[in-house]
Amino acid sequence: MPSRTFEFPIDKEHANRYNELVGDRRRSQVSALILTLLLGVGTYFAYIRGANTTLVIILCVLTAIAGVMIVAIPLSVGSIEKSFHSSNLAPAMVADSRENGLTLLALVNIAKDDDADPVWALSARDVRGVPGIRRNVREKVPCVAVTGSRKLFGRKHKVWDLATPMPIAWGTPDRSVVKEARNRIPGSEWHMLEQLLPRLDDVRNTPNDLLVVED
């Protein structure tokens, strides 16, 4: 399936306010910072108390790795602009609506090769909200599918094992842009997704909230 990216002007202030992937990245950085500080303190006390040299070296290495993660996390995730513009459009729908949030269910192609046949999967994500989107179940939410891998050598595989929907409405307040994105997604994919909405619980039972759809 050919690449289906969708470029549009990103409103950075709007994205920083609503895009929950930005918050995820910040929380990961804070966690890495806390881990670095704890390991640093542990290394210091191990050193001044004359602990085994090997232990001190190991703690130093772990502290350095944790410190590198603070910088590596945003680099590995990439900028929000890059994520929007390099990820393929994907249909998503409100699969569950609660007082404090929504669950989006997206139909994503997890094949790495754009020239290969699509490998369809369902991806679920809990969100606090999507601006301009009604909270009704089956409400259409045009997204991009941000893909990746948790496996050390995951890039060697033919499919991604991570894919999360990122609503276009998290990147712009312009309703016409959101409408254009929705119209660019084929009606057959919207229909396929609607038929698969009852499988939300199956998706939730997978390790990464990602379920390959069997033919």
Break the chain into its structural domains and give their ranges.
15-77, 87-212
Bridge partners (DSSP) of residue 210 are 123
Do residues 147 and 89 touch, judged by C-beta distance below 8 A?
no
Is the CATH number of domain 87-212 2.60.40.790? Answer: no
Strand residues in the chain grouped as ranges (E):
88-90, 92-98, 101-109, 120-127, 143-148, 162-167, 210-212
pLDDT tier at 41, thresholds 50, 70, 90 = confident
pLDDT of residue 178: 95
pLDDT of residue 124: 96
Do residues 80 and 146 touch, judged by C-beta distance below 8 A?
no
pLDDT of residue 153: 46
The structure's pTM equals 0.75
Specify which of 11-20, 30-39, 51-60, 160-169 reaches the highest per-range mean pLDDT. Answer: 160-169
Tell me the average pLDDT across 114-139: 91
For the cut 80, the answer to whether the pLDDT of residue 202 exceeds it is yes
pLDDT tier at 25, thresholds 50, 70, 90 = low
For the cut 80, the answer to whether the pLDDT of residue 29 exceeds it is no
Do residues 130 and 169 touch, judged by C-beta distance below 8 A?
yes
For the cut 70, the answer to whether the pLDDT of residue 80 exceeds it is yes
Q: Which of 69-83, 117-131, 150-164 has the lowest mean pLDDT?
A: 69-83
Tell me the average pLDDT across 26-36: 59
pLDDT of residue 151: 59
Sign of the Cα torsion 174, 176, 177, 183 reads positive
